[in-house]
Amino acid sequence: MLNKRFAGIILVLSILLSLVFGVIFIKHRLFLQHAKGLGLAGIFLINFLASASFSVAAPGSLIAVAEGSIYSAYLVALFASFGAALGDLIILVVGFSGRELAFQKFEKTKWFTSFEKIFREYSGWILFVFGFIPNPLFDIVGLTAGIFAYSPVKYFLIVFVARFIRFLLLAKLGSII
């Protein structure tokens, strides 16, 4: 296990990084709306920043619909989901960094041990469903996965697949509108 000082540094840095991305996202929303003019790189950037910050990912979904009328739906889904899944890894790191603190505070509580058992048993499905459906609760799920030391590779793959299916459907919608 990481020593407490190193874990604290990682926690502070990852929260600061998420806040920086959130400020960039909010402050430069107009720039990001115009980033769709950057093509597939803009789709990646918007989804990365939206997922790396504690925010609602609605702009990424809207961009996927808009860009689906220009690019192949599969390319839009690939770039959008890759950016979103990479950004979501930052939220996982925040949760992992706060792991020791969470266990110190809650480990002996009944609700925490029950929640941990449920999450460990159904984590793949929980990540997939919450990753597929656009909602603000996914950040909590990502933090939880980090607290319970979920594998970053499995996390990335599940979130990527869930987001890929979502963005593919949205881009296909954009291609027929």
Predicted confidence at residue 162, as pLDDT, reads 96
Q: Which residues, in sequence order, are CB contacts of 63 under 8 Å at separation 6+?
A: 36, 42, 43, 46, 47, 80
Give domain limits for the chain.
Answer: 4-176
Residue 9 near residue 97 (C-beta atoms within 8 A): no
pLDDT tens digits for 5-31?
A: 665 565 566 555 555 555 555 455 555
Please state the pTM of the whole predicted model.
0.78
pLDDT higher at 128 or 103: 128
The region that residue 124 occupies, defined by phi over 0 for left and psi between -120 and 50 for alpha, beta otherwise, is: alpha
pLDDT tens digits for 113-166?
A: 888 899 999 999 999 999 998 877 888 899 999 999 999 999 999 999 999 999
| pLDDT over 80 at 54, yes or no | no
Return the structure tokens found at 18: 């998420």
Taking the C-alpha atoms of residue 137 and residue 76, their distance in angstroms, rounded to an integer, is 24
